[in-house]
Amino acid sequence: MEHRNGCWFKSCWIIALIALTSPAQAKNLEELIAAAIESDPWLVQSQSQERAARAQAIAGGELPDPRFTASLANLPTDTFDFSQEPMTQVMVGLSQAFPGGDSRQLRRQRLDQMGDVNVIERSMRLAQLRRDITLLWADAALADKTVRLINQDRALFEQLEAVIRSGYSSAGKGISQQDLIRAELEITRLDERVLQLKERRQRKIEQLTQWVPRSLVYAIAEFELPNGSPASNRAVSLHPETQVHDQRIKIARTGYQLAKETLRPGFTLNTSYGYRDEDRNGRDLPDFVSVGVSMDLPFFRAKRQDKQVTAAAERVAAEEAARLLTVRRLQAMQSDARARLIQLDQQTALYKDTLLRQMTALADAALSAYGSDQKDFAEVMRAHIAQLNAQIEAQRLETERQKTIAEMQYLGTAVIGTTIDRATDTEATS
């Protein structure tokens, strides 16, 4: 019990510390995550559920209240004289019921294990908050970065448009009206892309407000792409999702043991004291003391107790199957994330080492050739648009890489310092 209370107190203390140190205004991703943890009502709900389970565990392990009885026995109805008959007496009694076997201890252990589930679920919740907020933050950062790239190139497109307009006005270099319209159209398309990106950024901000206060999210002027590192390949058996199933299997096994204890009959201890008055001759009559035991007789075991044991065993099998499904899903997600990260690393390296350099060289060559009257304006525009698209794609790949890392970090989460190793006695006897 001391270890259990210590773990529970440690969990509450950590969350309280995060709440106390959370900033009034988030400036980066980590501060936004801290603010989300501080304002998350789910964590408060989980703590209340754990405390409720702990309190129920204490109550469930206690004996039922004793019963007090008082009665007037063998009173003659012809005279209602208390001293007329020697068997007339006033009786008071106490009875105490004792459940069969170790059912009280098992019931208390099962409720404690339910409280342990809340501890593990809070670890899972913290990991989910970090992952989901990071994914939305990365999408918003991609929109901000893309807008910056477009605004940087927009100045160049405006210069080109000004040159084309000047040349068209002076009828020089064979500039046609089509070239002028193309220049204006490309600038309009850039403005359209900026509007789409701002709308996408707005959607991500609105999605963030389900975890973080709106004032904190809207106070962020610009989102910067996170720079995470891939997590180590930790066994999925340590992941909170798997540990929740492990704990539920323990609960089901304890329930199985509890169902088996119902096969052992409970009993009730009865004691009573009977007071008698004097007889008709004035002699004192001795009082009576009675002691008895009543016991359950499981005559309908096949219809009730045996079926309860069977149902409890099936619940254990169901929880074990659910755990297997979760392990397979997490393993598949880990493999997929590793494969995606390798592919994204290769694509990012290709863009950084080769494609961006080639696109820049092509755009510069097209502009130089246009200045030497060797190429038309359409080639210049296509080259610079291709360069901009390559820069945007490189940024998208880096964003996808960071989102994949966030997924891997979630999959690499482990429950450490919790109460997941309890109830080993139940497992050993199952």
Q: Which helix (H) or strand (E) holds 291?
A: strand 288-295
| Nearest-angstrom CA–CA distance, 84 and 81 | 5
Report the pLDDT value the prediction gives residue 285, as an integer from 0 to 100: 85
CA distances 234 to 231, 355, 409, 413, Å, are: 8, 35, 10, 8
Buried b (16+ CB within 10 A) or exposed e, 36-57: bbbebeebeebbeebeebbebb
Biggest CA pair distance of the chain: 147
Report the pLDDT value the prediction gives residue 124, as an integer from 0 to 100: 94
The answer to pTM > 0.95 is: no
- The owner of tokens 């707005």 is 202
Q: Are 46 and 118 in contact (CB under 8 A)?
A: yes
Helix pair 305-350, 377-411: axis angle to 10 deg? 150
Q: Are 408 and 230 in contact (CB under 8 A)?
A: yes
Predicted confidence pLDDT, tens digits, the chain (430 residues): 444 444 444 444 444 444 444 444 557 899 999 999 998 999 999 999 999 999 999 988 888 889 999 999 888 888 888 877 888 889 999 999 988 888 889 999 999 999 999 999 999 999 999 999 999 999 999 999 999 999 988 887 787 777 777 666 665 555 667 777 888 888 889 999 999 999 999 999 999 999 998 888 988 888 999 888 887 778 889 999 999 999 999 999 999 999 888 788 888 999 999 998 877 777 888 888 999 999 887 777 667 777 888 899 999 999 999 999 999 999 999 999 999 999 999 999 999 999 999 998 988 888 787 666 656 777 888 888 899 999 999 999 999 999 999 999 999 888 754 433 333 333 333 3
Q: Which helix (H) or strand (E) holds 72?
A: strand 67-73
| Nearest-angstrom CA–CA distance, 88 and 75 | 5
144, 226, 224, 156: which is closest to 186 by C-alpha?
Answer: 156
Q: Which CATH number applies to 2-62+105-263+302-429: 3.20.20.140, 3.40.50.1000, 1.20.1600.10, 1.10.3720.10?
A: 1.20.1600.10
Region for residue 373 given its phi and psi (left: phi exceeds 0; alpha: psi -120 to 50; beta: otherwise): left
Report the pLDDT value the prediction gives residue 167, as an integer from 0 to 100: 63
Helix pair 240-261, 305-350: axis angle to 10 deg? 170
Q: Alpha helices of 210-288 — where are they, by DSSP H?
A: 214-218, 240-261
Report the pLDDT value the prediction gives residue 390, as an integer from 0 to 100: 94
